[in-house]
């Protein structure tokens, strides 16, 4: 629903936020959190009906864009439309992501590998690209990428997802250094286990599981602080660091028979 940006009240204007993957899970929770704070939102997702229903349920006035992060032209058009109506956003959150079990030895899983990388890695590039130069010109703004602790070490049956999130972490690090001194912050958030439709099918224990509504304000605090890299919840950050320190032989033995996400199509 398109409308003019509401007037800000108080000493500090509420932020303008552009958010992908907004129709469910973490994205929906972030939308609800920022809307409650008075933000003006640009909400992007593939599912137009769910996106419009979300926007209609939020306080304030917001903009919706039915677009796939695999479509660079659609994202460019959404970004330009949003900026024409609100100005350059304060925060751009690349949240769209997918996960599915994959096995390299199964030829029919190749399309799933391609889709996961296209959305989880190149989707970030396509999301941020329209905003980099406008933010540089203004000398402010935050580009926030939602990665995952799954990018810290590779897990069996999750080669596509783990590798894509590892690539996302490295891409965001490169972009952060690239934009150093420009006034534009690049922030990486690595969620642990968050209770969303994506994790609902996981057939294994998920320690330190958070609901999306619990996770969203924690993400927002990380963004507000300008932290360059954070794991949410922090306990999973400790686990991830310990896993990174394990010798390969120990890690391989411990996780060779770990539970695996079901394979499927995307």
3-state helix, strand, coil in the chain (%, to 5): 45, 15, 35
* Residue with token string 């599912």: 47
In this predicted model, what pLDDT tens digit does every residue of 86-102 receive, in sequence order?
A: 999 999 999 999 999 99
Which of 34, 161, 171, 193 is catalytic? The answer is 161
In this predicted model, what pLDDT tens digit does every residue of 147-187 receive, in sequence order?
A: 999 999 988 999 999 999 999 999 999 999 999 999 999 99
* pLDDT score at 253: 92
Q: Tokens standing for 260? A: 């695996």
Please determine, for residue 3, whether its predicted confidence score (pLDDT) is greater than 70: no
In this predicted model, what pLDDT tens digit does every residue of 5-22 receive, in sequence order?
A: 333 333 357 899 999 999
In this predicted model, what pLDDT tens digit does every residue of 212-229 receive, in sequence order?
A: 999 999 999 999 999 999
Distance of alpha carbon 104 from its chain centroid, rounded? 25
* pLDDT score at 193: 83
* pLDDT score at 152: 92
Active-site annotation holds for 161: yes
In this predicted model, what pLDDT tens digit does every residue of 225-262 receive, in sequence order?
A: 999 999 999 998 898 889 889 999 998 998 888 878 77
Output the CA–CA distances (angstroms, integers) from residue 20 to 106, 143, 178, 233, 247, in the order listed: 31, 12, 23, 22, 37
Q: Tokens standing for 155? A: 């897990």
Nearest to 52 by CA among 43, 78, 89: 43
């Amino acid at each position: 629903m398109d409308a003019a940006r509401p007037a800000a009240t108080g000493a500090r204007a509420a932020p303008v936020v552009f958010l992908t993957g907004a129709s469910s899970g973490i994205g929906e929770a972030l939308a609800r959190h920022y809307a409650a704070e008075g933000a003006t939102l640009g909400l992007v997702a593939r599912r137009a009906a769910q996106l419009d229903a979300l926007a209609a349920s939020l306080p304030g006035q917001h903009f919706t864009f039915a677009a796939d992060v695999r479509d660079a032209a659609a994202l460019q058009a959404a970004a330009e439309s949003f900026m024409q109506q609100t100005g350059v956003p304060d925060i751009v959150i690349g949240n769209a992501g997918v996960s599915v079990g994959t096995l390299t030895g199964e030829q029919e899983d190749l399309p799933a590998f391609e889709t996961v990388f296209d959305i989880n890695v190149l989707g970030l590039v396509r999301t941020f690209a329209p905003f980099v130069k406008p933010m540089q010109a203004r000398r402010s703004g935050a580009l926030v990428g939602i990665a995952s602790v799954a990018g810290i070490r590779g897990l069996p049956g999750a080669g596509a997802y783990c590798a894509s999130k590892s690539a996302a972490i490295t891409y965001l690090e490169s972009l952060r250094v690239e934009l150093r001194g420009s006034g534009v912050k690049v922030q990486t958030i690595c969620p642990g286990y968050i209770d969303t439709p994506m994790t609902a099918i996981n057939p294994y224990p998920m320690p330190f599981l958070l609901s999306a509504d619990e996770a969203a304000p924690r993400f927002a605090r990380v963004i507000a602080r300008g932290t360059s890299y954070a794991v949410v919840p922090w306990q999973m950050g400790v686990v991830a660091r310990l896993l990174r320190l394990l010798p390969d032989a120990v890690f391989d033995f411990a996780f060779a028979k770990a539970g695996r996400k079901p394979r499927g199509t995307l």
